[in-house]
A and B are shown apart, each in its own frame.
Chain A
């Protein structure tokens, strides 16, 4: 499935209902996810990744802009809710809060199958569930009758993916699906995404702030900063040679699992996160090492650099 996001803007009114204060969580974001493509959205926390995902999933209304699924407007798509949910599925960040601790895990699986009419009888449903579980390396007997608290995080995350696959979706939104899992399990989940893409041609929006896994799976990568995409292009290109100063900072901050590696200089952090949201001009200006005077005055437009989108005055 092809997903186009055009000029998406989301403004939250902060504070009470009478308040006029606005917070621009997503600022005019456009991107495209091709069929059978893993598109990764990365950036520090609070930059608007989840909000983007929620809009794509129809859980949040955009203030402006539109989302097209294979050319169909999201609004029209969502009209037929069951059909939409069947085509677009999600895997969430925290496997421990993906499932209600008071519900048996199998409940979710059976409900998904039956409600989306993937099967008519219980037996058929069971077969389907077995099938999808085997994709993620589990079998039904391990799951039967158990509550979420009885599983490890990795197992839950796999169940969560298996559940999403039950409807044979064309598009999967995975919002930081591995951030809460141990290093040793992380790679297996990410491998799974790769397989899904390759075997079933599913498009995946893979949201993360772990750039090394993005590098590992993503075809395309967009780096978000304070609501805007500051750099977007082929994942490997961006991470091998980042252009935007923020991407550079981000990349260099990743603790490389190599004892030989040393950081060159100390970085400076903003002590309150809110301020940058309300700055005019480039939002990174206050801590950009290469800041120029224009940066503080006006917001840089998207520059095309070697087939990459970069939102920085340096590349004018």
Chain B
């Protein structure tokens, strides 16, 4: 499998100035990962651990107060390499939507309220291709048909659509140009389970037909189980475990991941389950050593002093924990 994007040592901090002192929020701290062609990569982790920030960095959308402190993201698209974090806005425009697109968190407000859906699609197509208006229209309509979305939606305004429909329209908008990589930030959160199911099915369908790389962020492990081929688990701005989906669910190695998987209630099982003890750390003021050690039941001295690296402990299974896997 070809790697379509590689990220090395990403560090992205929010710098917040209040009064005379600046605090940095280390939302993404030393994260390295890569994506293969035609895979669904899921990023899991509890809220506020830096998932959205990571996605923004990967997409090249870095604006104050967020700053990329270290690392870079390289895309290999049609044989060309793009160093996305050192590209100008004009250069970025050329690859966006054609090659890389983005489904933002909270689809409710990303559609221009006073523009019909059709016009919004047209805006995107006109901007990135040289299609004529008629071509564009037929393209949009056939795409909607292909996705099983009602075509009449095109003539509605965003507010006339239900939440689930709006989310699906946003997904269609992000994929209408058949991009190579799609970043989706919590595309199903805040949706009803029934609606959520529709959205997940839509994403699956697109992935199957377009064979592109889908990077999906959510903290709902159920969604990951349905969609992802590989999963990366984040904690406090770091990637702490990465493996194929089956592996993560069957054999979670990091204590945090273990809590995450095991605390999920399941039908037919009312036995008592334990959640992760303690509460997540503040990214502005991380504990020393492994950031998870205050909540970790198996932590010892080294965990408090030194931070573990993410290393491959089994085939395609990486973990950042002193207590896990092969000797370090």
Is A9 located at the chain interface by the 8 A CB criterion?
no
B203-223 near A? 1/0 per residue, CB < 8 Å: 000000000000000011111
Indicate if the CB atoms of B194 and A249 lie closer than 8 Å.
yes
Using a CB–CB cutoff of 8 Å, the interface residues on chain B facing chain A are: 46-48, 148, 150, 153, 160-162, 164-165, 192-198, 200-201, 219-226, 245-246, 249, 256, 259-261, 263-268, 270, 272-277, 279-280
Indicate if the CB atoms of B265 and A213 lie closer than 8 Å.
yes
Indicate if the CB atoms of A253 and B263 lie closer than 8 Å.
no
Is A257 located at the chain interface by the 8 A CB criterion?
yes
Indicate if the CB atoms of B280 and A152 lie closer than 8 Å.
yes
* Chain B residues, Cβ within 8 Å of A188: 274-277
CB distance from B106 to the nearest CB of A (A): 14
CB distance from B196 to the nearest CB of A (A): 7
Is A131 located at the chain interface by the 8 A CB criterion?
no
The CA-CA distance from A239 to B274 in the complex, in Å, is 22
Is A255 located at the chain interface by the 8 A CB criterion?
yes
* Chain B residues, Cβ within 8 Å of A194: 272
Is A44 located at the chain interface by the 8 A CB criterion?
yes
* Chain A residues, Cβ within 8 Å of B194: 44, 249-250, 253, 267, 269
Is A184 located at the chain interface by the 8 A CB criterion?
yes
B150 nearest CB neighbor, chain A only: A271
CB distance from A175 to the nearest CB of B (A): 16
Indicate if the CB atoms of B225 and A266 lie closer than 8 Å.
no
Is A12 located at the chain interface by the 8 A CB criterion?
no
CB distance from B261 to the nearest CB of A (A): 7
- Name 6 A/B residue pairs within 8 A (Cβ), A-sorted: A183-B221, A184-B256, A212-B267, A255-B196, A255-B200, A256-B225
Chain A interface, number of residues (Cβ within 8 angstroms): 48
The 8 closest A-B pairs by CB, nearest first: A255-B222, A188-B275, A182-B46, A187-B275, A216-B265, A253-B197, A187-B263, A184-B276
Q: Quick one: which of A183, A189, A257 contacts B266, CB cutoff 8 A?
A: A257
Indicate if the CB atoms of A257 and B193 lie closer than 8 Å.
no
* Chain B residues, Cβ within 8 Å of A211: 193, 267
CB distance from B189 to the nearest CB of A (A): 10
The CA-CA distance from A240 to B150 in the complex, in Å, is 34
Q: Known contacts A186-B275, A256-B225: does B266 contact A212 (CB below 8 Å)?
A: yes
Is A15 located at the chain interface by the 8 A CB criterion?
no
Q: Quick one: which of A44, A155, A239 contacts B192, CB cutoff 8 A?
A: A44
The CA-CA distance from A45 to B194 in the complex, in Å, is 10
Q: Known contacts A152-B279, A154-B279, A261-B225: does B46 contact A185 (CB below 8 Å)?
A: yes
The CA-CA distance from A44 to B196 in the complex, in Å, is 11
Q: Quick one: which of A45, A182, A215, A273 contacts B47, CB cutoff 8 A?
A: A182
Indicate if the CB atoms of B162 and A270 lie closer than 8 Å.
yes
* Chain A residues, Cβ within 8 Å of B256: 184
What would 12 more interface pairs be, CB under 8 Å, given A250-B193, A272-B161? A154-B279, A155-B279, A184-B276, A188-B276, A212-B265, A212-B266, A236-B270, A253-B196, A254-B193, A255-B225, A256-B222, A257-B224
The CA-CA distance from A155 to B267 in the complex, in Å, is 27
Indicate if the CB atoms of B249 and A259 lie closer than 8 Å.
yes
Is A18 located at the chain interface by the 8 A CB criterion?
no
CB distance from B263 to the nearest CB of A (A): 4
Q: Quick one: which of A151, A236, A257 contacts B225, CB cutoff 8 A?
A: A257
Indicate if the CB atoms of A183 and B264 lie closer than 8 Å.
yes
Is A263 located at the chain interface by the 8 A CB criterion?
yes
* Chain A residues, Cβ within 8 Å of B148: 266
Q: Quick one: which of B225, B273, B280 contacts A187, CB cutoff 8 A?
A: B273
Residues of A12-56 at the interface with B, using a CB-CB cut-off of 8 Å, are 44-45
CB distance from A112 to the nearest CB of B (A): 22
B224 nearest CB neighbor, chain A only: A257
The CA-CA distance from A182 to B51 in the complex, in Å, is 13
The CA-CA distance from A184 to B225 in the complex, in Å, is 16
